[in-house]
Amino acid sequence: QQPVQSPQAVILREGEDAVINCSSSKALYSVHWYRQKHGEAPVFLMILLKGGEQKGHEKISASFNEKKQQSSLYLTASQLSYSGTYFCGTERDTDKLIFGTGTRLQVFP
């Protein structure tokens, strides 16, 4: 079953923060996060493997609550380049990545 992301869309001014959530109804082995700009390929951001694990990538970090079957992506001090659609991807079977519903993020000057 497809993970559900919230919110569906976010509008920010440069420098503002945002949180994107990803919830699954089933137990997860891992959570991936990707960003896709319009007309481009999805680009890998990070993978979280263990419950409670937090990973960071510059000003973008994420957490994984295995018990709650949830992951959150944190974007701090947003930049114009952060605009795009963010997808979580959850994996229960090896090599079978199921993408979430997506969150569209727009950052304005």
Min separation Cβ 92 and another protein, Å: 9
Contact 62, 87 (CB under 8 A): no
Residue 98, interface with another protein (CB under 8 A)?
yes
Question: Could you tell me which stretch among 16-24, 62-70, 72-80, 96-104 binds another protein (CB under 8 A)?
Answer: 96-104
Task: Choose the binding region for another protein from 13-21, 53-61, 62-70, 84-92 (rule: CB under 8 A).
Answer: 84-92
- Cα–Cα distance for residue pair 33/88, rounded to 1 Å: 4
Select from 20, 87, 105, 107 the one that contacts another protein (CB under 8 A).
87
Whole-angstrom distance, CA of residue 73 vs CA of residue 94 = 23
Residue 103 CA: distances (Å) to CA of 11, 35, 56, 82, 87: 11, 9, 19, 12, 7
The binding track of 47-76 with respect to another protein, each residue x by CB under 8 A or -, is x-x---------------------------
